[in-house]
């Protein structure tokens, strides 16, 4: 089967199968071999690796992954792509295609069964409409992970990588950085896809921490605090958290929080009583969550 990482071969396959792009599945297929090679390099795939690909499309990146990895498992929701994948991947015996919604697949079980519970690598040109649930699902469901190397919307990549005091910094930055080190490795223009997406794209690599740098007694409470702190971004923490009134905890119970509680906690941390959430580091949010 011809290499799909160029427009001519991709268009030939799409015509052969009379394929209709489905907007609702975020289908923008890669047609640039330089970008594909860059993604494979950034993911540092070796013959030891089990790679999970989310949304293989017609199998373009899957071909590259199959060449470099020990085994590839590709999960595709669109059943009309399955016969195409059988065709484009027919010369590889190390690829398994699963026709399912990635959000419904038990990925922890998959890593246990196929990789003996050892960390897997995730590589994908993601469907942009479900970027956050996919990534947070991988982290929160404790899927053993080495890294996630993904093409996503540029603005979302910027938010994942942002630090305190910047306009992009928020709940997503903190949620991602709690689990992994983010690095944007490539900017990709709409012309590298068919059809062209209406937004710019970035490839970002999230390297999962082996040892978590931040530890808290109750992660759910920390994330409840972070969300509440950015819900009213322009308000001070004292007002924003005081208005929220409570934080959710892992046990399912809510802890009441008053303005005074927040003032006292900030004083203990030697922070200004008028500070906003966007100025706090992850370490400071962790401390604040333990104090409240």
Q: Which of 125, 177, 229, 289 binds ligand SAM (CB under 6 A)?
A: 125
Identify whether the C-beta of residue 60 lies closer than 8 Å to the C-beta of residue 194.
no
Minimum CB–partner distance for residue 116 and ligand SAM (Å):
25
Q: Which of 75, 95, 148, 204 binds ligand SAM (CB under 6 A)?
A: 75
Question: Of 291, 256, 251, 253, nearest to 271 (Cα)?
Answer: 291
Q: By C-beta, is 29 or 230 nearer to ligand SAM?
A: 29
Q: Which of residues 228-287 bind ligand SAM (CB under 6 A)?
A: none
Q: Which of 5, 28, 32, 176 binds ligand SAM (CB under 6 A)?
A: 28
Asked whether position 49 contacts ligand SAM by CB under 6 A, the answer is no
Identify whether the C-beta of residue 150 lies closer than 8 Å to the C-beta of residue 125.
yes
Between CA 4 and CA 12 the distance in angstroms is 10
The token duo for 166 is: 């910047």
Q: Which of 32, 76, 219, 278 binds ligand SAM (CB under 6 A)?
A: 76
Residues in CB range of 211: below 8 A, 6 or more apart: none
Q: How many residues does the chain have?
A: 292
Q: By C-beta, is 55 or 170 nearer to ligand SAM?
A: 55
Burial of 168 (0-12, 13-18, 19+ CB in 10 A): middle
Q: By C-beta, is 101 or 283 nearer to ligand SAM?
A: 101
Report which secondary-structure segment, H or E, holds 171: helix 171-179
Which stretch in 125-133, 163-171, 203-211, 218-226 sits in contact with ligand SAM by CB under 6 A? 125-133
Asked whether position 29 contacts ligand SAM by CB under 6 A, the answer is yes
Residues that bind ligand SAM (CB under 6 A): 25-30, 54-57, 60-61, 75-78, 101-103, 125, 127, 130
């Amino acid at each position: 089967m011809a290499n799909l990482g160029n427009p001519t071969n991709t268009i030939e396959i799409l015509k052969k199968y009379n394929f209709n792009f489905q907007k609702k599945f975020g289908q923008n297929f890669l047609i640039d071999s330089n970008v594909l090679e860059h993604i494979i390099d950034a993911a540092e795939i070796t013959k030891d690796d089990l790679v999970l690909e989310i949304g293989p499309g017609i199998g373009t990146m899957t071909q590259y992954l199959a060449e470099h990895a020990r085994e590839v498992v590709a999960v595709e929701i669109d059943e009309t792509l399955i016969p195409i994948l059988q065709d484009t991947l027919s010369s590889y015996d190390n690829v398994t295609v699963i026709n399912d919604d990635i959000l419904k697949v038990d990925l922890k079980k998959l890593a246990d069964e196929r990789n003996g519970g050892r960390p897997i690598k995730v590589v994908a040109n993601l469907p942009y409409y479900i970027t956050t649930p996919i990534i947070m699902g991988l982290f929160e469901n404790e899927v053993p992970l080495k890294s996630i190397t993904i093409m996503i919307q540029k603005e979302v990549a910027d938010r994942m990588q942002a630090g305190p005091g910047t306009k992009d910094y928020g709940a997503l930055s903190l949620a991602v950085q709690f689990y992994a080190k983010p690095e944007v490795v490539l900017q990709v223009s709409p012309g590298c896809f068919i059809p062209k997406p209406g937004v710019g794209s970035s490839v970002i690599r999230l390297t999962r921490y082996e040892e978590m740098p931040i530890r808290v007694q109750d992660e759910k409470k920390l994330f409840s605090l972070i969300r509440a702190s950015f819900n009213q971004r322009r308000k001070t923490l004292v007002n924003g958290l005081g208005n929220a009134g409570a934080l959710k905890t892992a046990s399912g119970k809510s802890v009441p929080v008053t303005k005074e509680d927040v003032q006292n906690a900030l004083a203990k941390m030697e922070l200004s009583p008028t500070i906003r959430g966007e100025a706090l580091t992850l370490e400071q949010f962790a401390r604040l969550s333990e104090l409240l």
